[in-house]
Structure 1
């Protein structure tokens, strides 16, 4: 990446992600780093204001909600279908897996796995 190139997608570029079916209520208060592939943010998910998404390994699946009730920082993390992240306050996730239908209220997690309702081991 050229050092003069912006680190995050512009609001206009985020609008293109939004046009694919990703719900982003406030384009100007969400940061998505350029290393995040837009196709890894699936249609039907909701990225709430004050969320920051980064990391080439990050994936957000359909109907997942990020930053429901506070700022969220997601880095190199996998968020499963119908997962809710941050419904009780701020959340920071790094190298973390949040399984389908998991509800993660608030807090910080690194190198962690949160299994959802439908996970079978």
Structure 2
């Protein structure tokens, strides 16, 4: 009698385990199908996010590359204009050493601002 009861209990437990496994498998399949449908709708599409992030970074570098001429030339032109004003109102003769110093200061400040902008891109 005891053996028969134990056998029946084991069979019932096995049946419950099998039904639980079937329910879990069906649940997993349903979740997978739902995920596939949402992916087709574009809710779980990481490729677009990666592509947008890549394009955004490329556009930042492209904008910097197009502005590079202005970033480098503007300080040099400002220093040249400052030299011409000094030459007209302060100096009596040409001062080529002052011109070279001003142009070097303009070039260094232009490169400095370019390096700062490149480092700020993330």
TM-score interval, smaller chain: under 0.3
TM-score (norm 1): 0.17
Point out the structure with the larger strand share. 1
Higher alpha-carbon Rg = 2
